[in-house]
Amino acid sequence: MSVDLIALNPIFNTRSSKFDSARKMEITNVMEYEALAKEKLPKMIYDYYASGAEDQWTLKENRNAFSRILFRPRILIDVSKIDLTTTVLGFKISMPIMIAPTAMQKMAHPDGEYATARAAAAAGTIMTLSSWGTSSVEEVASTGPGVRFFQLYVYKDRNIVTQLVKRAEKAGFKAIVLTVDTPRLGRRESDIKNRFILPQNLSLRNFDGLNLGKLDKTDDSGLASYVAGQVDRSLSWKDVKWLQSITPLPILVKGVLTAEDARIAVQSGVAGIIVSNHGARQLDYVPATIVALEEVVEATQRRVPVFLDGGVRRGTDVFKALALGASGVFIGRPVVFSLAVDGEAGIRKTLQMLHDELELTMALSGCRSLAEITRNHIAAPWDPPRVGSKL
């Protein structure tokens, strides 16, 4: 499959030879993939994956906020055996690290979402397929078994939404991830400067044959123009109820950042919440997701699982999110950058490195299972001063 796609896609014909096996072997953390991906990918495509909205303050803060949370490790605990397994919506997975929905993955590598699906299944974790994938729900399902969620944008034509949901059900997807922070696309200035369009040999496969227009060249971002024409700006909480009426699949809402919305989500009967700022690609100067996480968790009173999406690059980040109440994390950019550099093998290595880093962090913090990770294992900048016991 991949050989034919390479022949069809001029993006990949002249750039792959630089990336020999020696450089790939030297990679020791997931952040190193981004630098290699920047060398390999055309500027328009790299910028699409890497950039954020406007001043990109939140993009930087998604990472920087993790660095301000410190560990309070416990010692002299037998950590000879450590268990990273967990359960998400009833599905047992190998670790609390899952793959977030990321659009148009065949821009990064000719195998695109096929490679991501296979890597996630091999790692024993969950992949979320974007509505705007360059592979369809049926194509992803054809890669073999695996637990997969389907991310949904609600289009103005609700018949299209119903068709998509039913196709995801039929293809064996296990949950719907409803993105709720995109009534309009954020101002992504790199995409505007680059006049972003989807390469001509690719398409949004879930919508082939539906006459919804294309990501064509405009005087702006082609994606922004597409979203303005197709995505329903009137989406509201009543539509969560509507979605529940057309599918038995559990629904997670992705894009919650406040206690107020978390409480409404619980009242609306969602199966889970994903704390996300859309990779800092929507409204700039919203808080980092790791900063917003605890507020959302407390507002739910733990009636539904809360997950974190945004800024995760280390196993230490995963531990901090779990200590603040997350039931797991989703990763996006690390997947597409490792995909760009080394295809399926790159994603497998990314997932393995994060797994191993989390396991090491747990061992050095005195935690033998995810259940043993507590709020007392970290100190956050917003915590009140701790007073030590008097002698």
The mean-pLDDT minimum among 151-160, 244-253, 259-268, 359-368 falls in: 151-160
Judge whether 155 lies within some domain.
yes
Judge whether 391 lies within some domain.
no
- Prediction pTM value: 0.91
3: pLDDT strictly greater than 70:
no
Q: Which pLDDT does position 388 carry in this prediction?
A: 63
The gap between the terminal CA atoms of the chain, to the nearest Å, is: 69
**Sequential DSSP letters for 252-300:** EEEEE-SHHHHHHHHHTT-SEEEE--GGGTSSTTPPPHHHHHHHHHHHH
Judge whether 129 lies within some domain.
yes
Q: Which pLDDT does position 386 carry in this prediction?
A: 80
Q: CA-to-CA distance for 165 and 163, rounded, in angstroms?
A: 6
Q: CA-to-CA distance for 134 and 110, rounded, in angstroms?
A: 10
109, 278, 355, 377: which is the annotated catalytic residue?
278
Q: Which pLDDT does position 389 carry in this prediction?
A: 47
Judge whether 145 lies within some domain.
yes
* H or E element in which residue 179 lies: strand 175-179
Quote the number of domains for the chain: 1
380: pLDDT strictly greater than 50:
yes
Its domain, for residue 79, covers 2-379
What residue type is 25 in one-letter code? M
Q: CA-to-CA distance for 105 and 86, rounded, in angstroms?
A: 27
13: pLDDT strictly greater than 50:
no
Dihedral class, residue 184 (left if φ above 0, else alpha if ψ from -120 to 50, else beta): beta
Confidence bin at 213 (pLDDT 50/70/90): low
The mean-pLDDT minimum among 51-65, 198-212, 364-378 falls in: 198-212
CA within 13 Å, CB half, 63: 10
Which tens digit of pLDDT belongs to each residue from 318-344?
999 999 999 999 999 999 999 999 999
Average pLDDT over residues 209-223: 60
Active site residue 278: yes
Confidence bin at 166 (pLDDT 50/70/90): very high
305: pLDDT strictly greater than 80:
yes
**Residue 228 or 86, more confident:** 86
Judge whether 387 lies within some domain.
no
Copy the structure tokens of residue 32.
């190193």
The mean-pLDDT minimum among 55-59, 156-160, 247-251, 307-311 falls in: 156-160
Average pLDDT over residues 84-105: 97
| DSSP, res 144 | -
Q: CA-to-CA distance for 185 and 173, rounded, in angstroms?
A: 26
Judge whether 388 lies within some domain.
no
**Sequential DSSP letters for 319-342:** HHHHHTT-SEEEE-HHHHHHHHHH
Q: What phi, psi does 43 have (nearest 5°)?
A: -55, -45
What are the C-alpha distances in Å from 104 to residues 114, 164, 374?
Answer: 12, 17, 37
**Sequential DSSP letters for 338-360:** HHHHHHHHHHHHHHHHHHHHHHH
Judge whether 54 lies within some domain.
yes
Q: Which pLDDT does position 209 carry in this prediction?
A: 76
CATH number at residue 330: 3.20.20.70
Helices (H), ranges, 9-147: 21-25, 31-40, 43-50, 57-67, 112-123, 137-141
Q: Which pLDDT does position 18 carry in this prediction?
A: 52
Judge whether 386 lies within some domain.
no
